[in-house]
Structure 1
């Protein structure tokens, strides 16, 4: 399954639309590691005149030599090992896609490369038909590279932050797993294509989790540390913040206290984690309750919840993960899956409309999913359980009470609802 390209239709259409314009473009494709940026770029250049180059962290004179060799092979003629010469030759090639994968490696090696790229764009590419696709994993460095005051400020003609796959695509990786097992897989790795491809369909879920997360040679055992160390100088400070949020701290003061971080420096750390897509600041869709912080990245959430506390025992070979340990975690995963599947449910006709959607809370009241569109209201209560029709009706009545019996659509999301239920219902199978 690792070599199979899944979904990304919206992203491909975006790139194709820009490509069809025929004019020069500098497009930035970025997102966390393992999210599928390289595969998307390679899919996009299929059947097109193109040059693909993967940057590495080394002296830029050596990088210029590598790039010149790649371009020389593509053009069938010698190109001098100089950035300006390389791009001036590419500018003569008509409509060609040039992919520089992990271009921020160059920026980390020598920030002056931004000035070189500015000059290359202004003098050669801006008057050409070259489609320059810059791919990057370091979100904070991408932000700095194109911010006001940077040499590349104002040159970018498009950008796309590549996110996770929708929850429904988990089934494409593990078609023989039960729907409940797919929820557990999503709770372990979210919709990150590379991580999903690591699960062996011939193994049980518990065997896969232990092999990937809880053995010293497991691919996902140290991946979390590598993921944060790749972009951050203080990875364990960030881990402590993520863990504090996962354990229930939601306000600045609570997070700072639990993570042992100064309240004055915490906003800087949270900003970086938000840019990376690790945490998110959640505001209620209705009312004036204060926003809270939540962990958005399921892989890191699972890692800080289960792997980090047990690392000593894993190192000794004295720990084995049991699926029962996830029982209190799966209701949270299911609720998040529902919120991330709303567009899919609407497209399928399961939901009547979407509008602005999110959670709602006010004092002691909480609604799992609330969507507003003008005067229209759609409210859903999410239950990680099988319900009979009577329990579903009681749930809807309670939901109506929470919202003051406001007119609208009220429904229940559950694993399964047995018996005749006349209200709006969403079952686990609908998510896939």
Structure 2
């Protein structure tokens, strides 16, 4: 049973429990990854406690120092006085596996170990292969390798890596979605919940130690000034630390420039490069690394088939749009002044894009008249003849099984505007233009997403037509 102190994480716990309790008569490997502050350590410590397993968290150090720390931890777990002095990692790993033949072993922050000694994955490969059920030295060890350096963890099972093909579980611990985050923060008001989610996202740790468990009250600005923009609070520099935690990132200024360009609304490769006054080829590697680190995500415009890049971590967007341009003022303690001047940017560059993302997540999960979309993204409805291109915030497509492919929904999202029939007519034009591009639009739902509501004329039009859907904040939060 999952410990009562763990909030949600039912899916993750079920996967870890199934791994730990697997009846397979051979050594098994799990890889658990996720960016810092998502609760991996919390989960894995609880798992080790429940199953009486060995838990070791590595820190950045030399190979010799890490080996000493490991020897001390193994000795304490096995009840051996003092420490165990291992000559090398080969000896240390073999000793642990020999003495924990049917137990759970968790090696947390594993990238620090591979940095100290790159041979460790190869040693583990040899032991996994050599301790199969058909071998005399069989083993029922359940080994979990966990880490926060996403680029490193992603390569453990990729390509020609030693451990490729050895894992029976590859689990990524994700941030909470907007609905779970609202519950975790205990915020009743959906508008306030969305704004807070646009700042701190769904990272659990930001609710606890980083803001001392304080959720914002009626005055969001007061909370932001005290808990986010104050140089004395932990959250103030957290967005910068997210980059330093990734071992693949060397030139932090370059990577912040890429993130800043995306946060400013430049979503194409050319737009990002132009904003930075660089060639597109110059940013190919930073984009790939940031995507591997899950600090940005790449979406594909389903109509033009071009890549669109978004910042995946809301706190990074907030930092790049609000904090970084005024860093010197914030360090002087002028948070009030910065926040008073940031209202328009906060709405346009932080909350607005995050609201659109939440709307796309809604469209992906929504039942469109008995069907679910397999692809949801923003895109362009190209104009034909005298028609002009129309940017569409939400395009929801059915599976590609049918030809022509069915367009389940087109949607427009406005965070701070009361939507009217003009927005509906614009969606009708977008639908018609997508029809000319070869999509089946006979049953397409026109979805209008608003954080500020709908005027009476639009509400009446939606009541008359079942193919018009109005989505407000309570509906985005599951009918709250």
TM-score interval for Structure 1 and Structure 2 normalised by the shorter chain: 0.7 to 0.9
| Residue 369 of structure 2 corresponds to residue 338 of structure 1 | no
1:129 aligns with 2:140: yes
Contact 2:200 2:315 in 1 (8 A): yes
Give 1:46 shift. Answer: 4.6
Q: How does 1:224-235 map to 2 (within 5 A)?
A: 224-231=239-246, 232-235=249-252
SS at match of 1:29: strand
> Corresponding residue for 2:106?
99
In structure 2, what is the equivalent of residue 317 of structure 1?
333
- Contact 1:30–1:139 (CA under 8 A) maintained in structure 2: yes
Residue 223 of structure 2 corresponds to residue 219 of structure 1: no
Q: Is the Cα contact below 8 Å between 1:242 and 1:304 reproduced in 2?
A: yes
2:215 to 201, 208, 213: 201
Contact kept? 1:32, 1:138, Cα under 8 Å: yes
Are 1:170 and 1:186, in contact at CA under 8 Å, matched by a contact in 2? yes
Conserved 8 A contact 2:392-2:430: yes
C-alpha spacing 1:390/1:263, structure 2 compared with 1 (3 Å): closer
1:143-222 matches, within 5 Å, as: 143-197=154-208, 198-199=210-211, 200-201=214-215, 203=217, 204-222=219-237
Partner of 1:247: 264
CA contact (8 A) 2:363 2:373 kept: yes
Change beyond 3 A, Cα 1:172–1:22: same
Deviation at 1:350, TM superposition (A): 9.3
What residue number does 2:408 align with? 378
Q: 1:279 maps to which residue? A: 296
| 8 A contact 1:345–1:351 mirrored in 2 | no
2:430 and 2:370 map into 1 onto residues whose CA distance is 17
Contact 1:88 1:120 in 2 (8 A): no
Using the TM superposition, give the Cα deviation of residue 319 of structure 1 relative to its aligned residue in structure 2, in angstroms: 3.6
2:116 is the counterpart of 1:113: no
CA distance in 2, matches of 1:408, 1:319: 50
1:97 is displaced (CA, Å) by: 1.5
Q: Which residue of 1 aligns with 2:287?
A: 270
Q: Is 1:355 matched with 2:358?
A: no
Task: Tell me if structure 2 keeps the 8 A contact 1:237–1:259.
Answer: no
Quote the residue 2:318 is aligned against.
Answer: 302
Deviations 1:363-387 (A, max 9, x none): 4122222222245432132232575
SS class of match (2:202): coil
Give, in whole Å, the separation in 1 of the partners of 2:76 and 2:243.
Answer: 36
Find the residue that maps to 2:415 and give its secondary structure.
strand
Q: How many residues align?
A: 427
CA spacing shift, 1:7–1:393, aligned 2, 3 Å = same
How much does 1:274 deviate?
Answer: 0.6
Q: Assess if the C-alpha contact under 8 Å between 2:157 and 2:165 holds in 1.
A: yes
Is contact 1:357-1:370 (8 Å) kept?
A: yes
- Residues of 2 paired with 1:86 and 1:294: CA distance? 41
> Does residue 1:431 correspond to 2:444, yes or no?
no
TM-score between the two structures when normalised by the length of structure 1: 0.87
Over residues 343-366 of structure 1, what are the superposed CA-to-partner deviations in whole Å (9 max), with x where a residue is unaligned? 5544xx998522322223134122
For 2:272 and 2:43, how far apart are their aligned partners in 1?
Answer: 36
Pair 1:81-2:85 in alignment: yes
1:48-90 Cα shifts (integer Å, max 9, x gaps): 1311111112233333333333333333346843343554444
State the SS of the aligned residue for 1:181.
helix
Moved more, 409-418 or 163-172: 409-418
In structure 2, distance between residues paired with 1:28 and 1:265: 33
- Distance in 2, matches of 1:354 and 1:253, equals 29
- Tell me the residue number matched to 1:63: 66
**Could you list the runs of 5+ residues in structure 1 that have no partner in the other structure?**
none
Alignment partner, residue 386 of structure 2 = none
**Cα distance change, pair 122–85 in 1 and its aligned pair in 2 (3 A):** farther
Cα shift readout 1:129-166 (whole Å, capped 9, x = no counterpart) = 11111111112222444444444344333312222211
Q: Which runs of 5 or more residues in structure 2 are unaligned?
A: 383-388
CA contact (8 A) 2:364 2:396 kept: no
- Is the CA contact 1:102–1:136 (under 8 Å) kept in the aligned structure 2? yes
Cα offset, 1:42, TM superposition: 2.7
